[in-house]
Amino acid sequence: MSRFRAPVRFLGTLLATGAAALASPLALAQQVHAAEVAAAAAPSAAQIAAGEQVYTSLCMACHQADGKGLPGAFPPLAGSDFLLGKPDRGVGIVVNGLQGEVVINGAKFNGVMPAMTQLTDQQIADALTYVLNSWGNSGGSINVTRVAAERALAAKTPKKADSPTQHPTTTAELKYQGAPSPVGAAGAQISVTPGAPEMTVAEFDAARKIYFERCAGCHGVLRKGATGKPLTPDLTIAKGSEYLKVFIKYGSPAGMPNWGTSGALSEDEVGLMARYLLLEPPQPPEFGMEEMKKTWKVLIPVDKRPTKQLNKLRLDNLFSVTLRDSGQVALIDGDSKKIVRILDTGYAVHISRMSASGRYLFVIGRDAKVNMIDLWMEEPSTVAEIKIGSEARSIETSKFKGFEDKYAIAGAYWPPQYVIMDGATLEPLKITSTRGMIYDTQEYHPEPRVASILASHFRPEFIVNVKETGKILLVDYSDIKNLKTTEIEAERFLHDGGLDSTKRYFLVAANARGKVAVIDTKKGVLTALVETGGEKPHPGRGANIVHPVHGPVWVTSHLGDENVSLIGTDPEGHPDKAWKVVQKFGALGGGSLFVKSHPKSAHLYVDAPLNPEAAISGSVAVFTVADLANEKPKFVTLPIVEWAAIGEGQPRVVQGEYNDAGDEVWFSVWNAKDKTSAIVIVDDKTLKLKSVIKDPKLITPTGKFNVFNTRNDIY
Q: What is the pLDDT of residues 391-432, one digit of tens each?
A: 999 999 999 999 999 999 999 999 999 999 999 999 999 999
CA 121 to chain centre: 27
Span 204-227, average pLDDT:
84
With cut-offs at 50, 70 and 90, classify the pLDDT of residue 106.
Answer: confident
Write out the E strands in 400-547.
407-414, 417-422, 428-433, 436-437, 444-445, 450-455, 461-466, 471-476, 484-489, 494-499, 505-510, 515-520, 525-531, 543-547
Q: Which residue has the higher pLDDT, 264 or 687?
A: 687
CA distances in angstroms from 229 to 196, 212, 216, 413, 697, listed in the order given: 19, 16, 11, 17, 35
What mean pLDDT value characterizes the chain? 87
Q: What is the pLDDT of residues 8-62, one digit of tens each?
A: 323 233 223 333 333 443 344 444 444 444 444 578 888 898 889 888 867 876 7
CA 186 to chain centre: 18
Is 354 assigned a catalytic role?
A: no
As a whole number of angstroms, the distance between CA 688 and CA 682 comes to 6
Counting Cβ atoms within 10 Å, is residue 263 exposed (0-12), middle (13-18) or buried (19+)? middle
Counting Cβ atoms within 10 Å, is residue 686 exposed (0-12), middle (13-18) or buried (19+)? exposed
Q: Starting at the earlier edge strand, list the strands of the sheet with 484-489.
A: 450-455, 461-466, 471-476, 484-489
**b vs e for 92-128, b when ≥16 Cβ sit within 10 Å of the residue's Cβ?**
bbbbbbbbeebebeeeebbbbbbbbbbbebebbbbbb
Is 215 assigned a catalytic role?
A: yes
Span 71-87, average pLDDT:
82
Counting Cβ atoms within 10 Å, is residue 540 exposed (0-12), middle (13-18) or buried (19+)? buried
Helix (H) or strand (E) holding 321: strand 318-323
Q: Among the options 113, 218, 354, 377, which is catalytic?
A: 218
Residue 88 has pLDDT above 90, yes or no: no
With cut-offs at 50, 70 and 90, classify the pLDDT of residue 684.
Answer: very high
Is 62 assigned a catalytic role?
A: no
Looking at residue 201, its pLDDT comes to 82
With cut-offs at 50, 70 and 90, classify the pLDDT of residue 280.
Answer: confident
Residue 182 has pLDDT above 70, yes or no: no
Looking at residue 191, its pLDDT comes to 60
As a whole number of angstroms, the distance between CA 136 and CA 106 comes to 19
Q: Which residue has the higher pLDDT, 582 or 96?
A: 582
Q: For the chain, give percent helix, strand, coil, nearest 5.
A: 25, 30, 45
As a whole number of angstroms, the distance between CA 244 and CA 219 comes to 14
Cα–Cα nearest to 147, from 39, 244, 61, 223: 39
**b vs e for 630-665, b when ≥16 Cβ sit within 10 Å of the residue's Cβ?**
eeebebeebebbebbebeebbbbbbbbbbbbebebb
Looking at residue 64, its pLDDT comes to 81
As a whole number of angstroms, the distance between CA 239 and CA 35 comes to 56
Cα–Cα nearest to 547, from 574, 511, 521: 574
Span 109-115, average pLDDT:
73
Q: What is the pLDDT of residues 41-55, one digit of tens each?
A: 578 888 898 889 888
Q: Which residue has the higher pLDDT, 525 or 93?
A: 525
Q: Among the options 167, 219, 457, 574, which is catalytic?
A: 219
Q: Starting at the earlier edge strand, list the strands of the sheet with 515-520.
A: 494-499, 505-510, 515-520, 525-531
**Which range among 122-131, 192-201, 206-215, 258-267 has the greatest average pLDDT?**
122-131
As a whole number of angstroms, the distance between CA 511 and CA 228 comes to 10
Is 218 assigned a catalytic role?
A: yes
Cα–Cα nearest to 66, from 58, 81, 56: 56
Q: Among the options 350, 495, 547, 603, which is catalytic?
A: 495
Q: Among the options 256, 292, 354, 421, which is catalytic?
A: 256
Dihedral sign computed on CA atoms, order 655, 659, 660, 664 = negative
Cis, peptide link before residue 168, omega less than 30° from 0: yes
With cut-offs at 50, 70 and 90, classify the pLDDT of residue 334.
Answer: very high
Dihedral sign computed on CA atoms, order 305, 308, 311, 313 = positive
Q: Which residues share a beta bridge with 254?
A: none
Residue 187 has pLDDT above 70, yes or no: no
As a whole number of angstroms, the distance between CA 98 and CA 114 comes to 7
Residues 6+ apart with CB under 8 A from 328: 342, 343, 344, 345, 349, 699
Q: Which residues share a beta bridge with 488?
A: 472
Looking at residue 214, its pLDDT comes to 84
With cut-offs at 50, 70 and 90, classify the pLDDT of residue 138.
Answer: confident
Q: Among the options 60, 116, 199, 215, which is catalytic?
A: 215
Residue 1 has pLDDT above 80, yes or no: no
**Percentage of the chain exceeding pLDDT 90:** 64
Q: Which residue has the higher pLDDT, 214 or 471?
A: 471
Q: Which residue has the higher pLDDT, 224 or 58?
A: 224
As a whole number of angstroms, the distance between CA 547 and CA 532 comes to 17
As a whole number of angstroms, the distance between CA 55 and CA 59 comes to 5
Q: What is the pLDDT of residues 499-524, one digit of tens each?
A: 999 999 999 999 989 999 999 999 99
Q: Among the options 538, 547, 558, 574, which is catalytic?
A: 538
Q: Which residue has the higher pLDDT, 193 or 478?
A: 478
Q: Which residues share a beta bridge with 461?
A: 476
Looking at residue 253, its pLDDT comes to 63
Residue 607 has pLDDT above 90, yes or no: yes
Query: In the 8-state DSSP scheme, what is residue 516?
Result: E
Is 219 assigned a catalytic role?
A: yes
